[in-house]
Amino acid sequence: MKRADQEGASAIAGRVGRSGYEAEQVRAHWAIRALFLWGHRRLLFRVTAISLLLSITLCFFVIPKRYTAVASIMPPDSGGSPAMLLSALTGKGGLGALGGLAASLLHEHNSTALYIDLLESGTIANHLIDRFDLRKVYYKRYYVDAAKHLAHQTKITDDKKSGVITIKVEDTDPARARDLVLAYLAELNKLVNQTSTSSARQERIFIEQRLSSVQNDLEKAQIELSDFSSRNTTVDITAQTRAMVDAGARLQGEIVAERSGLESLRQVYTDDNIRVREVEARISVLQHELNKLAGSSSPPPADPAASEQTAGELYPPLRQLPRLAVRYVDLYRRVKVQEAVFELLTQQYEMARIEEAKDIPVVRVIDAPGIPEKKSFPPRVILSLVLTFLAFAATSALLLLRERWANVDSADPRKRLVEAISGSIGRRKALALVAKGAL
């Protein structure tokens, strides 16, 4: 049957004409080619059936399903310097409506392009690779190769009119595809916060540094005041002075009363009398206590041993209080000044944090990513049909080329060149096989 069809095609070609031009026209006619392929319909059917079976196996069982998670975000508002300049000119009436339109367009374009660049940055890619262990998932050894594969699986586009940014991530695991999109959004927010250069952020950083310095100064001043108070037993100079003056006045009054009683006793008794000696001893004790309370006006000794001797006293001497008060008031004033500055800076720091939170741009999610329910690749039916058609077309093309080559005149230089080359290659292969067999 096959031979009869081929002979029928040759007979038609012979009836059309014997000249080379007419034969070329016959071969170029689509009916002649269709008739030739019909003669090889069994081969084409087998190839098509095998191709369909292989393509179905490939599409349904070999190629893994891929799922695409999608999220849409609106870039946060961040006033860049060009947009602010145009807006200022607009407010002054320099550009009018044209300036406002230009500022708006420039702001939206810069903001959208900026956040697309941030999403495609290597910082975010490396964080995602470490977070999801993508080198193991993608079977890549280096971060660079894993980042390229991730970029190939990620598609970030923007709408030129609305400025909405769409993030699509494709993966074989639908849950991981969703998590990758969420991670993109989280890393974008984090990177925006880190790279924010707003005035509120700069103010917060300055106040934070100043607050740390003032806190150290306050702690140092408090330690110095506490050491001074512990060393000189000064707690409250004013209250201590008042208490010591009252105590001194009371001792002096007791001494005067005792001396009056002593003079009365001396008029009755001699100096050797027990009652006179008892009053004299009591007056001596009171005078000693008064002298101890008054102390000396000379500077305190710098000797540590002398300082240890007076360390057990409850109050410093009265005559030393003015000298101690100068140093105590100075240290106390430093503590109060540092406390006031610290409280003021703390309030300003909290206000700066609030302002920074207002100024920090936040990515607004329009469509949050969900776990995709349907696969996005491969389109199995279409792909199977396309692969089958390609196999059928390739087989048909090979049959037509072989038939055309067979009809080429053997004296044609092109055919002679191809035969010479193929013959040379065949001889080389034969010699190689003989040499291999001899070994």
Query: In this structure, what DSSP letter does residue 394 have?
Result: H
Q: What percent of the chain has pLDDT over 70?
A: 72
Does 109 have pLDDT greater than 80?
A: no
Query: Each residue of 30-81: pLDDT tens digit?
Result: 788 888 888 888 999 999 999 999 999 988 888 899 999 999 998 766 444 4
Neighbours of 291 (CB within 10 A): 12
Q: How much is the pLDDT for 389?
A: 94
Task: Please name the residues in contact with 80: beta carbons below 8 A apart, sequence gap of 6 or more.
Answer: 106, 107, 110, 111
Burial string for 390-403 (b: 16+ CB within 10 Å, else e) reads ebbeebbeebeeeb
**Residue holding tokens 């000189």?**
232
Q: Which residue did the predictor score with more confidence, 118 or 106?
A: 118
pLDDT averaged over the chain?
A: 77
Q: How much is the pLDDT for 112?
A: 84
Task: Please name the residues in contact with 302: beta carbons below 8 A apart, sequence gap of 6 or more.
Answer: none
**Residue holding tokens 């964080």?**
127
Query: Each residue of 267-317: pLDDT tens digit?
Result: 777 777 787 778 778 888 877 776 776 655 555 555 444 444 344 455 666
Nearest to 372 by CA among 181, 183, 186, 178: 178
Q: How much is the pLDDT for 404?
A: 83
Q: How much is the pLDDT for 92?
A: 42
In this prediction the pTM is: 0.55
Token pair belonging to 270: 């001699």
Q: Kindly tell me the burial class for residue 7, based on how many C-beta atoms sit within 10 Å of its own C-beta (0-12, 13-18, 19 or more).
A: exposed
First to last CA, the chain: 48
**Residue holding tokens 């009398």?**
273
Contact 400/106 with Cβ under 8 angstroms? no
Q: How much is the pLDDT for 319?
A: 62
Query: Each residue of 366-396: pLDDT tens digit?
Result: 899 999 989 888 888 999 999 999 999 999 9
H helical segments located in 120-236: 122-132, 134-137, 143-153, 174-194, 199-232
Collapsed DSSP state (helix, strand, coil) of residue 232: helix
Collapsed DSSP state (helix, strand, coil) of residue 68: strand
Query: In this structure, what DSSP letter does residue 71 have?
Result: E
Q: Kindly tell me the burial class for residue 107, based on how many C-beta atoms sit within 10 Å of its own C-beta (0-12, 13-18, 19 or more).
A: buried
Helix H or strand E encompassing 374? none
Q: How far apart are CA 405 and CA 407, in angstroms?
A: 5
Q: How much is the pLDDT for 439?
A: 61
Q: How much is the pLDDT for 335?
A: 87
Q: How much is the pLDDT for 125?
A: 94
Per the document, the length of the chain is 439
Q: Which residue did the predictor score with more confidence, 110 or 112?
A: 112
Does 172 have pLDDT greater than 80?
A: yes
The average pLDDT across 264-269 equals 75
Helix H or strand E encompassing 237? helix 237-268
Q: How far apart are CA 110 and CA 79, in angstroms?
A: 10
Contact 156/115 with Cβ under 8 angstroms? no
Distances (CA, A) of 168 to 130, 161, 368, 408: 20, 19, 12, 55
316: cis peptide before it, omega within 30°?
no
CA angle (339 as vertex; 338, 343 as ends), nearest 5: 115
Q: How far apart are CA 207 and CA 347, in angstroms?
A: 10
Contact 68/169 with Cβ under 8 angstroms? yes
Does 95 have pLDDT greater than 70?
A: no
Query: Each residue of 344-360: pLDDT tens digit?
Result: 999 988 988 888 777 66
